[in-house]
Structure 1
């Protein structure tokens, strides 16, 4: 796992920065076992539905793409035009079960790249990087592990392959039950890590929010064991504790604003809005099961962007731009 380093503490007057990260991937049934043949990328023909919104707000998103996207024309062609117009950044997103070489057992645990042997994690990420380079004619430096699956070998592998930005930490979430990492104590603040602290971690924005304060995590976990009476829902309605993520998938505009204000008041000035590319087509994910839910999903982008740019006076950024800005600011701190 990426070791947590001291957060980059920016001056409170720093303009809040918003980056957009899209897990750009094949369509698959998240409740089913891994299947290396489940590699359809038909949803990409509708990716313009979100890109049009980004263009409207002059936002340059980051598409982190996996092997099925990077190796099939139906996956990468919709992005080529966007990328060539300099309207997005491209990073790598490793789904091991659909990324050669195929040497591991297809298990839930092995869906987390960091659970593979060092040699196999390296080989898969190297293949993905080379495939992206072949299609987009550049070498990606931004990485996000599939299923947030970073572990002890990931940092050295990233450094060896030339990656210097990681987007894998899912703040406040714990995936250890099926072999994944535990980020429940992670902060939403970015930090430097890796050789000579030259690599940047930009976590997904999330937090335990509510009046419980330092007791939030333990209380939230305890409520999970009492789920027969929907204890977590009760705690949320009473504003005692809720676990929120800055995502249009499963979270409302009110929750986006609540989380952002909470983090902003704590001094956080970097925010990550994250979702999965198949959600742009009804029925591809549980978050947009029909056209009505897709419309609400897309509307939530505009509602949040209006809040962030107008009420919070924020600015749009990208992982690369954010790293450059933080390098300059930390030099002067």
Structure 2
């Protein structure tokens, strides 16, 4: 998809706004908390200082909790450019069905029967509209779990954007989708009804131009990816403070600018704002590094000419953008 000339270079921030849960075993427990949502206003103020209006990808548990919903409503009032998206965690979104839904493969919503996936999507939309007074037009499948019927279901419900594909990542070993051939560049799906906005990951290193072929192969070799990364030959760098050292992120942003990438998507999970809820922020020191990551990354984005984009600005640019189809094999069935 070719962006209009006036769009320039932009970046957007999406936040997986969700309950705290055991990342090792999603769906293994019914004991969920949303205490980390209370940390969002402080993070929103940090973003506002840099002119960033993030998109909160809200899941069912958060939207259904009145205290959590109130926090997000206040944020939306404080910055009208801030937006709400829908994030589907199938293991907590009604209808829950039987215990079979807790199987690992079924934590990817796209693996559910069409009727079950769409029923969950409808329940999610209903609770977001009721509690946040917004109708989302951007979607993320929890665990990036797109399926063969997802995009058509989104189009039928008025969605315009999907942000479920994590560029260059493969979840097929867990029963999920394979995005290894997806780049950072947006593209259209479902006859143009939906624009896919992949989460950005950039290959770095001397062999980066062969990354799409080499990186998957190295995953089959014990410690192969780590060895190539240490030698400066090939690394996959997602633009997130969760597990990505800031020096690597800054370097990747420079390469993205050199490659002509016009829109970058940065993301993180809301539980990372409180130590102890994710593998990435265990201590107060980790949290300090998390916040410092954003400061350095915002500075790097500015140096390379990337300005923050709100959801509405992205929507307007998509409406003016020239059409382009996605990578072969990624057009879901309709």
- TM-score when normalising by structure 1: 0.91
Aligned 8 A contact 2:2 2:321 in 1: no
Matches within 5 A, 1:1-333: 8-10=1-3, 15-35=8-28, 37-85=30-78, 86-103=80-97, 105=100, 106-194=102-190, 196-227=191-222, 230-309=223-302, 311-330=303-322
**Cα distance in 2 for residues equivalent to 1:94 and 1:256:** 28
- Consecutive unaligned residues of structure 2, counting only runs of 5 or more, are 324-334
**Inter-partner Cα distance in structure 1 for 2:181 and 2:274:** 34
Which residue number in structure 1 is paired with residue 328 of structure 2? none
> Residues 13 and 237 from structure 1, CA distance in 2 versus in 1: closer, same or farther, beyond 3 angstroms?
farther
Secondary structure of the structure 1 residue equivalent to 2:195: strand
Mapped contact 2:3–2:317 kept (Cα < 8 A): no
Query: Is the contact between residue 68 and residue 75 of structure 1 (CA under 8 Å) also seen in structure 2?
Result: no
Query: Using the alignment, how far apart are the partners of 1:36 and 1:296 within structure 2?
Result: 30
* Separation (CA, whole Å) in 2 of partners of 1:126 and 1:296: 38
Count of residues paired in the alignment: 320
Do the aligned partners of 1:165 and 1:319 also contact (CA within 8 Å) in 2?
Answer: no
Instruction: Report what 2:327 is aligned to.
Output: none
1:10-44 residue CA offsets vs partner (Å, 9 max, x unmatched): 47895211100000001001112513513210111
Pairwise CA RMSD? 1.8
How far residue 239 of structure 1 moved from its aligned partner, in angstroms, is 1.9
Give SS of 1:98's match. Answer: coil
Deviates more, 1:320-329 or 1:293-302: 320-329
Shift of 1:126: 0.4
CA distance in 1, matches of 2:83, 2:196: 16
Structure-2 change in CA distance of 1:13 and 1:75 (3 Å): closer
Deviation at 1:50, TM superposition (A): 1.6
Partner of 1:3: none
Closer/same/farther in 2, CA of residues 280 and 121 from structure 1, 3 Å limit:
same
Contact 1:12 1:267 in 2 (8 A): no
Find runs of 4+ consecutive structure 1 residues off by over 6 angstroms: none
Task: Name which of structure 1's ranges 82-91 and 23-32 shifts more when overlaid on structure 2.
Answer: 82-91
Query: CA separation in 2, counterparts of 1:267 and 1:12?
Result: 13
C-alpha displacement at 1:100, in angstroms? 0.2
Counterparts of 1:208 and 1:184, CA distance in 2: 11
| Structure 1 unaligned blocks of 5 or more | 1-7
Deviation at 1:217, TM superposition (A): 3.6
> For each residue in 1:183-236, what CA deviation from the matched residue of structure 2 results, as whole angstroms up to 9, or x when unmatched?
001011011222x41321111001332222443244333433333xx3322211
Instruction: Give the conservation status (yes or no) of the 8 Å contact 1:207–1:259.
Output: yes
**Aligned-partner Cα distance in 1 for 2:287–2:130:** 33
- Give me the whole-angstrom Cα distance separating, in 2, the residues matched to 1:26 and 1:97: 12
Check whether the contact 1:207–1:243 (CA below 8 A) recurs between aligned residues. Answer: yes
Given that 1:36 and 1:98 are in contact with CA atoms closer than 8 Å, whether structure 2 keeps it comes out as no
Q: Residues 118-171 of structure 1: CA distance to partner in whole angstroms, max 9, x if unpaired?
A: 001000000000100001222111100000011110011101122111000100
